[in-house]
Structure 1
Amino acid sequence: MVYVTVPDPDGLDVPAIAAVAALDDDLRRGMYAYARRERRPVTRDEAAAAVGISRKLAAFHLDKLVDAGLLRFGFAAGPVVKVGRRPKVYEPVDDTIQVQLPARRHELLADILAEAVLAEETGETAREAVRRVAGERGFAAGEEERARTRPGRLGAERALTVAEGMLRRYGFEPSRDSRTCVRLRNCPFHPLAEKAPDLVCGINQAFLAGFLNGVRAGNVEAALVPGAAECCVELRQAE
């Protein structure tokens, strides 16, 4: 399963929102549902007949669905109908479109839990395996962020600024409470964090600590803040 995850700086998944908005039309929704039911590439004529409109109008709406990332197009096999051209055919993309406000990253949490089950080491408890895997995922995200931004030497303030970019993309809604402390106003693992706070908050802390290690922000720590009304972790200058 692939999630569309190219959010804007505020953590909102713009392509996914645009894709869902494209379906706020009876004709497009009907043609998209038809293409999914057929489980094969469909022509403009077939899509038009499915919803009872002209081929020209169907072509307009099908191309809008392609622009929104819901369908992809190709060209039909077989004899050429017009000189030098084969008819266009359309089929659904494989990506899963998901929009949640505020942002949620349940797929990340599920991936961490699944990998921990499969990669649990001898003598390691399940909880230890989960935290280790979460830290590894965070470390990889930190290395990726460092390669992308090339931040150079990181003091506490600069490290927190770099971290804020990642935090927004993951939906944490960071807020700089002071020059050396960032609070997280949203938990992307909610509401699962309410059901198992010790487990999920531990995963959260391990992931963010791993990120800080990956981005080489050794002077900043991911600290648990028990009883916090929002995310259970804050990033702050290490004492």
Structure 2
Amino acid sequence: MASDMTQSIYPTDTAIEAVSALAEDLRRQMYAFIRRARRPVSRDEAAASVGISRKLAAFHLDKLVHAGLLRTRYDPPGGIRKVGRKPKLYEPTDTQILVSIPDRRHELLADLLLQAIVTEDDDETGMQAAMRIAAQRGRELGEAERSQARPGRLGLERGLTFCERMLDQRGFEPARESPTRLRLRNCPFHPLAAKAPDLVCGLNHAFLTGYLQGLKATTVQAVLAPRPGECCVELGQVHAPEEDCPS
């Protein structure tokens, strides 16, 4: 749960591709060498580190770049400018790679709780601070998506579609049980949710309620509806409050 419940972490499918790129032994050795170097590394240096030709090293390095594990630059080594073409250099990216099936994002939960602790007001409990931060981040994400998509007035169907796409990207495995109800088949914070269900379920509910507010999806509501093995929140149609019967 960073500013939009995400950090610099690959989606699961991209992360699997990145990890599979390291299955080849020479490629994995070069990647380890470049990470340990703590500076941009030339193609010749990478080739020499594993004892292969420059051409073969280029093939493996390009695979690592394509997988998002390395990035390239053309600064002269050591900052020394020489006449001629600058060599292509390689360095690790900053992206954290995690693979978990089903999706687990405990570091996002820890990030939210950390911010709640450092911003806790004197007149609120830690639980209240966490709910405040979760709702705030949900609103920020909803506002950002509305600003980008400019969807106009959102009815129930389009509102649920926005939610479904966002939740799928964040590992909740959304599923339409009916045209008016969206269930979340996975809790990315399991098994921690089982240890503190009031806290984790409350955070999910606060985040999704904030998201709907920021998105201005006024026909959709997030409600607590726990089921074993699933996220405790579901999204559905807003129902008008029941009027008292006349006496």
TM-score normalised per structure 2? 0.87
Q: Which runs of 4+ in 1 moved over 4 A?
A: none
1:78 pairs, out of 77, 80, 87, with 80
Structure 1 residues 154 and 89, CA, compared in 2 at 3 Å: closer, same or farther?
A: closer
What CA distance in whole angstroms lies between the structure 2 residues aligned with 1:49 and 1:104?
38
* Superimposed CA distance per residue, residues 160-191 of structure 1 (whole angstroms, 9 cap, x where no aligned partner): 12211111111111111112111111111122
- Post-superposition shift, 1:221? 1.4
Contact 2:186 2:229 in 1 (8 A): no
- Post-superposition shift, 1:227? 4.1
What CA distance in whole angstroms lies between the structure 1 residues aligned with 2:226 and 2:42?
57
Contact 1:3 1:95 in 2 (8 A): yes
> How many residues of Structure 1 are paired with residues of Structure 2 in the alignment?
231
What CA distance in whole angstroms lies between the structure 2 residues aligned with 1:42 and 1:160?
47
What CA distance in whole angstroms lies between the structure 2 residues aligned with 1:181 and 1:136?
24
- Number of the residue aligned with 2:153: 153
Contact 1:23 1:29 in 2 (8 A): yes
Match for 1:61: what amino acid? H
What CA distance in whole angstroms lies between the structure 2 residues aligned with 1:228 and 1:207?
21
Contact 1:151 1:162 in 2 (8 A): no
Match for 1:126: what amino acid? G
2:103 aligned counterpart, secondary structure: coil
Contact 1:3 1:98 in 2 (8 A): no
Alignment of structure 1 residues 161-200 onto 2, 5 Å: 161-200=161-200
1:3 aligns with 2:8: yes
Long gaps (5+) in structure 2? 240-247
Match for 2:236: what amino acid? R
TM-score normalised per structure 1? 0.89
1:205 aligns with 2:220: no
Instruction: Give the RMSD, CA atoms, in angstroms.
Output: 1.9
Match for 1:149: what amino acid? A
Long gaps (5+) in structure 1? 8-12
Contact 1:159 1:220 in 2 (8 A): yes
- Number of the residue aligned with 1:18: 17
- Post-superposition shift, 1:196? 1.3
What CA distance in whole angstroms lies between the structure 2 residues aligned with 1:74 and 1:229?
46
